A and B are shown apart, each in its own frame.
Chain A
Amino acid sequence: MEPTDVIDATESESEPVADADDLVEEELLVEEISIDGMCGVY
Chain B
Amino acid sequence: MLSFDADQPYRLHDRVALRPEPFGALAYHYDNRRLNFLRAPELVALVESLGSHDSVRHAYDASGIDARRWPSFEKALASLAASDFLVAT
A30 and B35 contacting across the interface, CB-CB below 8 Å: no
A22 partner residues in chain B, CB cutoff 8 A: 68
B35 and A35 contacting across the interface, CB-CB below 8 Å: yes
B37 and A30 contacting across the interface, CB-CB below 8 Å: yes
Whether, in the assembled complex, A41 has its beta carbon less than 8 Å from a beta carbon of chain B, the answer is: no
A26 partner residues in chain B, CB cutoff 8 A: 71-72, 75
A31 to B25, CA, bound (A): 11
Q: Which residue of B lies closest to A29 (CB)?
A: B76
B72 and A29 contacting across the interface, CB-CB below 8 Å: yes
Whether, in the assembled complex, B49 has its beta carbon less than 8 Å from a beta carbon of chain A, the answer is: no
Interface residue range, chain A: 10 to 19
Q: Knowing that A27-B40, A27-B69, A29-B72 touch, tell me 16 more A-B residue pairs with CB under 8 angstroms.
A: A24-B66, A28-B39, A29-B24, A29-B38, A29-B39, A29-B73, A29-B75, A29-B76, A30-B38, A31-B36, A31-B37, A31-B39, A32-B36, A32-B83, A34-B34, A35-B33
B73 partner residues in chain A, CB cutoff 8 A: 29
Within 8 A of A (CB), among B63-89: 66, 68-69, 71-73, 75-76, 79-80, 83
Selected contact of B36 from candidates A24, A27, A30, A36, CB within 8 Å:
A30
A33 and B35 contacting across the interface, CB-CB below 8 Å: yes
